[in-house]
Every structure is written in structure tokens, then in C-alpha cells.
Structure 1
Amino acid sequence: MEKSSTGPRLWLGRLNESLVSVELLNAMRPVLREWVDRDSGALSYRLTQVLTGHGCFGQYLARREQNTACHHCSDDRDTAQHTLLVCPAWIRQREALQATIRPDITLPAIVRAMLDSEHYWRAVEAFAEVVMSSKEEAERRREAEALDPQRRPRRRTRASQTWSRYPALAGELGATVWGCRRP
């Protein structure tokens, strides 16, 4: 089966968008064709967060928190790279990942390892699942405790605005959708 050339063009277009991190650009460009043509390895929600830096990272959450600090250590800048490479809160998970794929777990090395082996892909995905789910749970606890009065509730504002724009949908359907949680 011949692969379409649309995939690489789509990925290149998205990689050139300003919202994509420089780290991801540098990691993906050398292996883009191989990444697009791979036969295995699906991107999970949490794996995507680690690769893109869009998730429970202080740098990303600063859009609503005005604070880039890591809530798990004393570092003043929490990024995907900080979480992956240096945050002491994740040392066990990091050591397990390094023992599985190799000591170099920079983003380019991880992307390369994911392409080299399905086993390595699963190891990176397991790291992302464990660490990001823990970070998300801590984020939910902080929101519930309302420790920072400048924090805005996650999603609730957006969802309530949506329902107010579509009052006919806000009845039973709204209650059902509102009760759903993303994995």
C-alpha cells in the first residue's frame, strides 16, 4: 500500500504553526517521513501532552495561572522538558524509562526511540500516562482547594458559556455531556 504525501505536508504545516514548541520542531523534522509512514504507535492524549508541551505544565498553564513554577519541586519553570529530564518528583519513572530505551531521553532521542521499536514506544507512553495522570490529579486537587484566588476553574467557564448560547441543548443533553469526563 502506497502512503500518501498529504500526511507529511500536513505535519509540516502544523509544525510550522507558532503554537508548536521549538523542541518538537527540532525533534520531528529529521524523522518526519518515518514518523508519518510508521505502521504502529498511536498518540494517546497524555503522550501528546509530553511531546507538545501542551498539558499540566506550569509554562502552558501560565495562560490562566500567571505562574510557570513546577508544583512538584522548587523549579520556577515547569515545562514538558523539565518534567521529562530533571524534575525530582518523577525520578523513578524517568529512571525506568532510561533503563528501557536509553540514558538519553531528550525529546529528539525519545522520538527516535519511539520510531525504532514498538516496545520503546510503549515505554514512553507508559511514562507519559503515569506522570501526566499524576500531574492532572494534583492540578484537580489544587483547583478544588482553590489555593490561588487568581486561578479560573478549568473548562467550566467555557462549557457554561456554550450552554448559554444554545439554551435548547442545555436540558437533558447538557446534563449528560457535563457529567462526562475525559480519560
Structure 2
Amino acid sequence: MRKIVLFALATISILTFVLTGCKKEPDNTDNAGYYLKFKMNGSWVLWTNAVAELGADLDDANKTNFAFQGASGDMRESFGISLQVDGTSLTEGTYSSDNYFMPGGYSITRNGSTSWYDLSDREPVSKYYLTLTTIEPGAIKGSFTGNFFVNMEDENDKVAITEGEFYLKRIR
């Protein structure tokens, strides 16, 4: 369990660092059409400050990791999903959180305090499907469907992120 939490936190931390470190210009600048779009609590959200990575697990060369992470223009919200598979490659296709290690997270900062949400393994369980439609050396395209993320400090506080799509710059 500790390794799972470390993987999820490391992935989210690295991608958040990349996003905040690269944020030198306002949204909607020349981003080559990259985007992360998702439905949260019934409303569509579009972020252009997002990236994806795909490559060998840094701790176990017999596993392959994919992750995407995005942030709002004001950097107060972030959202991402990761996927880990056995083997040295990841192909286009659909992956289910029922069958693969697929951590995800959402965070929001209000009044200087950050709330962290992750997938629930308690009933009702969070369930997500991730479809990778295009994997290229410079970009990854796909979509996802799911149900909700749960506040790590209050299991009654949920954020419904039910569907989305992305076309993201591949940083690894």
C-alpha cells in the first residue's frame, strides 16, 4: 500500500512541478492545441495548462506508467489520472480501474487551504475507464469516464468528474 501511495504522490508531484515551473505565460497562448477537458459536477471545464507522460516506471523497469495532469489558469485547481501496467509498453486501448492500478487526484485551494481528493476504495467505489486513442512521440490523445473522487479528510465530500478528453503534450 505504501508503494501505491508513493507512486501516486510522486506522479502528481512531478507533473504539478512541471506545470507550475513551465507556467510563464497566460493560458490560451501557443499551446499547439493541447487541452484537458472534463465534466466536473455537471459543468464542462477546459484547461490548456496540462501535460502527459508515458514511460518505464522509475522504480521497476518491468512496469510502464502513463499519467496526465492539468491545472486551472490560476493554478488553484489540479486534476490528473495515472495508469500503471505490467510490461515494458503501453498500447492504445481502454483500461479500467477494476483491472489496472489507476490512481487519480483532484485538488483545490481556497483561502490558503488545499483540499485533496482521490479515488475511493470504499463502497461505493470510484471507478474509471481510460481510453488512449493516439500515442505519438510528442503527444497523447484519449478520453475517460468515471464517477467521483473523495476528499481525503471528509469521505462525505465528493467531486463528480464523470467524463473527459485530452490531447496533451508528451513530456516523457
TM-score, reference length from structure 1: 0.25
Judging by fraction of residues, say which structure has more helix: 1
| Structure of higher RCO (CA pairs closer than 8 Å, 6+ residues apart) | 2
TM-score, reference length from structure 2: 0.26
* Structure having the higher Rg: 1
Judging by fraction of residues, say which structure has more strand: 2
